[in-house]
Structures are given as structure tokens and as C-alpha cells.
Structure 1
């Protein structure tokens, strides 16, 4: 067996192990007890109140993306990626992005990025902090999976976003390259 074949087989074995462990994480998350949360009021681009319960539409599940807002290039990169995926996700489960930016700031920034997905503001709400995406150190990006049962809303599980996570493909593509991308930082624009 050639050295390349041996390394390829070792890589395949490692992927199988990673996939097995990943499935264990998925299974553990499904077994976690749900945590009841309030029916928060968030704001649309015009500043109108939108109840969290109204976002479920005719389902009992909802994905909420916690975005740090206009000032975060990483969050912008994740949201740019969701722009191409959100309709696929939304066909299965309602999807909304929430950031701490005021509605007018969100509206202008979303327009400048051509984001098409639903966006709401958590400005003047304890929603972001109560769900653990704001601490004394600042805001954190991530996702919460919410469920609705017997007229109440629960958070079933959540995860945080960051370079190398499962929610943004760029780093996984970079990992295929021989060079080091640890110093790479996303930008708002790459046009010169």
C-alpha cells in the first residue's frame, strides 16, 4: 500500500470516528430537557413589536440565529452564507435572525448586504441576554432551536458560532489547503 493510500485510509477512519461522535452529540441534544422561555416581543424594521410565538407559523419548531450585529465581520459572513440557505431551511422550519442592533440600523445594513431572510431586533429586549448570547463580556453569535408545546415556548438546544464550527463552510474548505488560514479575517467587502 502506498503512503498516500495509507494516509487516505487513515483520514477515512478519522472521518468515520468524527461522524460517529457528531451523531452522539446530536442524540444527546435531542435527549436534553427543554427550558421554558418567555414569549418575547422583538422589533421588525419599522419598530413594530413581533411576538416570538408568531414566528412559529403553523409548526412547533423555530430556529433563531443570534447575530452580534453590524459591527461583527464574522457574524456578517455567517449571515451572508445564510442568505443562500435560508429558503431551504425555512421550507422545513421557520428561520429568523435576531441581533441587538436597533431596527433602523438592521434595515440599512440588511439592505446593503441584500439579505432576504427574516430579521428582528432584540434591542430593548432581554431576549438575547436571557438566552445566554450576551454576558458582561459582550455578545456571542449562535443559534437556538425553539419548540412550542401546549401554548408555551421552550428552548430545546443551542450552539455558539465561531471559526471552524459546523455552521459555516469556509473554514472547512480552507482546511483542504496546505497553507495556514489562522490569521485570515473576513471583511465586509473584498472589492478593491
Structure 2
């Protein structure tokens, strides 16, 4: 429905809908298609980004796949997280070392990643890295049911600071990063923070089904904020 209208349109409304409703829905469908096209344009521009920085050989603390188990703990290098893939996606979990719980919003995003991790594994490595010490991270992962996800602690490393996943005062930033492997080296490709350049929010909303489903409702998402009390 971009340039030429189709001769027939599959209905997106029940039988008996008013002409006013049908006309408005068709206009909305055009806007939805234009939004899709714009998203694809941005994705193409992202793929054209120049080569990023070669990174240090960071190492993180990691436990077993079952977050309910405390041992064994091993040191895992950033390059190891790629597995058989040439790319790696890292979610920077907002979990300050002094806190006892992760950010509710971050936890909601990781809940979603947990549900599709087996699909992502067909294409890329995926890991969740937080600044809190490993026991805190694993206790939180066990509470949230994140079994199977690679949950690693960057505590005691400069990883968060170097990637600007934390501010100079130690506050953690929610964001997602993509890396590429070049032999034994790791190169930064792309980072997407939760806030845009003007500090407005919803920078990574497209990565969570929760926001996209709420936006379909008559009242939209409103002022709702994820919480740790109901999960």
C-alpha cells in the first residue's frame, strides 16, 4: 500500500464496521507501512556503520547454566562468549554492585530475551553482563527464571566504564551492544542505549514485546512502569 493501492484489501475489521472506521483504518495501515519502511531504512544505515574499536581482552566471572547452583565459577573471556558465531549481543544489565536487585525495566527486557534465546542462538552469541558481584547476579537470575542465559559479572573490571555502560559516578546505564569477532580479537560494532541523544526514553523499546503490545491498546502504555514486585 505504498504507491499503488491494491485492488482488494483483506479486512482488518469485523463485518458490519462503519465506513468511517474502515476509512480511518486504511489510513492507519498506510502509516504503519511507512513506519515499517522507515525502520528498515534505519536498520540498513546501521549495517553501513564503519568499523568500530578493537577491544581489550576482558574477562568476566561466570557460573553454571543453572542459576540455582553456586559452583563452579570460572573466568570467561569476552571472545569466548561468541561460541561458534562471528557476532555477539550483550545486554548491559543495570545492576549496581551496592544494590540488591536489578533495574525493573532491565529485568523485563531480559525476561523477553530469555524467551527467545534459543532462536537467537541460531544466529549469534548472546549474554547478559552486569556490574554486581556474581552471587547477586545469579540470585537475581534464579528469582527471574533466567536458566540457560549466560549471566556474567563484570565486577572488578573496567568493561562497563570503557563501554560507557556506567557513568562517572558509578550509575549503571541500560543498553545493548553488538560485537564482532576477528580471529582472537573482538571489535565493537554498535551500542543502543535506552535513552536517545536528547535524553528522551524508549530507545530500546522495539526490543521488548511488552511495549509493542501495550501500544496496541486503546489507552496505549500510559505511565506504566515495569516492577519487580509482581515477577
Same fold (TM over 0.5): yes
Q: TM-score, normalised by structure 2?
A: 0.76
Provide runs of 4+ in structure 1 moved above 3 Å.
Answer: 161-164
Contact kept in structure 1, 2:179 and 2:189, CA below 8 Å: yes
Counterpart of 2:117 (choices 76, 86, 90) is: 86
Specify the alignment match of 1:54 in structure 2.
Answer: 80
Specify the alignment match of 1:119 in structure 2.
Answer: 151
For the structure 1 residues 136 and 7, does the alpha-carbon distance in structure 2 shift closer, same or farther, using more than 3 Å as the test?
Answer: farther
Deviations along 1:110-165, one digit per CA (max 9) or x if unpaired, are 11111021110111111122112211362111211110114321111121236471
Task: Report the alpha carbon displacement of residue 180 of structure 1 after superposing the two structures with TM.
Answer: 5.1
Specify the alignment match of 2:59 in structure 1.
Answer: 41
Higher relative contact order (CA 8 A, sep 6+): 1
Matched positions, count: 191
SS at match of 2:207: coil
Higher Rg of the two aligned structures:
2
Counterpart of 1:151 (choices 184, 209, 218) is: 184
Whose strand fraction is larger, Structure 1's or Structure 2's? 1
| Cα distance in structure 2, aligned partners of 1:101 and 1:167 | 23
User: Once structures 1 and 2 are overlaid, which stretch shifts more, 85-94 or 129-138?
Assistant: 129-138
Unaligned runs of 5+ in 1: none
Contact kept in structure 2, 1:34 and 1:157, CA below 8 Å: no
SS at match of 1:147: strand
Deviations along 1:7-65, one digit per CA (max 9) or x if unpaired, are 11111111111111111111111111122211211111355321101111122111111
| Cα distance in structure 1, aligned partners of 2:222 and 2:93 | 22
Contact kept in structure 2, 1:96 and 1:119, CA below 8 Å: yes
Whose helix fraction is larger, Structure 1's or Structure 2's? 1
CA-based RMSD of the aligned residues comes to: 1.9
1:5 partnered with 2:22? yes
| Cα distance in structure 2, aligned partners of 1:185 and 1:154 | 34
Contact kept in structure 1, 2:85 and 2:123, CA below 8 Å: no
Specify the alignment match of 2:103 in structure 1.
Answer: 72
Specify the alignment match of 2:165 in structure 1.
Answer: 133
Counterpart of 2:225 (choices 185, 188, 191) is: 185
1:109 partnered with 2:136? no
Counterpart of 1:21 (choices 28, 34, 38) is: 38
